[in-house]
Amino acid sequence: MSASTIRSWVIGNWKMNPVQADAQQLIQNLKQLLQHGPIAEQDCQLGIAPVSIALLPVREQLEDAAVKVVTVAQDVSRFPATGAYTGEISADLLKDSSIQFVLIGHSERREFFGDGPAVVADKIKHALAAGLTVIYCVGESLEQRESGLAEQVVLQQICDVASVVKQEQWSNVMIAYEPIWAIGTGKTASPQDAQSMHAKIREGLQQIAIQAGNSAILYGGSVKPENAVELAACPDINGALVGGASLNAESFYQIAQAFAKTK
């Protein structure tokens, strides 16, 4: 499979937003846009990652959308199954609620909640064992980029989890490259820098396993309609993980259209 035949994904990461009424309106607006201008699944697949208490209502509200929009959990417990882990939601419980997708290793989890390499590896292991599809987030800080360490840091983050992914499970893993300095800052990596990092990630994945080389690699960090077309044109950028701009249905839709048209 060449990079260009990998299916595109555009996933909205709502983070700790919005209140219920706004979430309902947002989905309603998105459904209307998709009704009038459907985006074919083979051109670009869509996902929304709401707060955990909204996973089920959002999933239900999306059920009658004109095209499939999957519901994505923003995180998962490092512990499997069920048990005495107050406040946690395991991969098995997500699966039990028909939530099939999960973000793991987002830089905000790494920074504020202590999700280090061992924790993200546990989360990925249990999510894949439960049959979920994982969007594994990696990315370097500004300091690391300025010291020339960006590639090393990102490839290390991939290596941190490689040993817990079985060869046949790579088809259930996507990577989201999100340079930390570009998240929520309005600064985006240039398409050239993003493409170059994506190509390195692809190379790194291919060295781990042939199957891993076919994983979709999404870009994240201030993606908006104004920069989506250029990013989507890069051969190794197979989609986007969109934060701020996903809180506006029109912007999110336009980003998805950019990826659908280019791929």
Supply the residues annotated as catalytic: 106, 178
Assess 90 for contact with ligand PGA (CB under 6 A). Answer: no
Q: In this chain, which of 50, 105, 179, 221 binds ligand PGA, going by CB under 6 A?
A: 221
∠ CA 50-144-51, nearest 5°, is 5
Q: Which ranges constitute the DSSP H helices of the chain?
A: 20-36, 55-62, 91-96, 107-112, 117-129, 142-146, 150-162, 191-208, 225-232, 249-262
Strands 173-177 and 217-220: parallel
Assess 12 for contact with ligand PGA (CB under 6 A). Answer: no
Q: In this chain, which of 195, 215, 222, 227 binds ligand PGA, going by CB under 6 A?
A: 222
Assess 227 for contact with ligand PGA (CB under 6 A). Answer: no
Q: How far apart are CA 198 and CA 192, in angstroms?
A: 10
Question: CB 202 → ligand PGA: shortest distance, Å?
Answer: 20
Tokens linked to 135: 């969007």
User: Which part of the chain contacts ligand PGA (CB under 6 A), choosing from 53-61, 113-121, 200-208, 218-226?
Assistant: 218-226
Assess 80 for contact with ligand PGA (CB under 6 A). Answer: no
Q: In this chain, which of 94, 183, 189, 234 binds ligand PGA, going by CB under 6 A?
A: 183
Helices 20-36 and 249-262: crossing angle in degrees, nearest 10, is: 40
Where along the sequence are the contacts to ligand PGA (CB under 6 A)?
A: 13, 178, 183-184, 220-223, 241-245
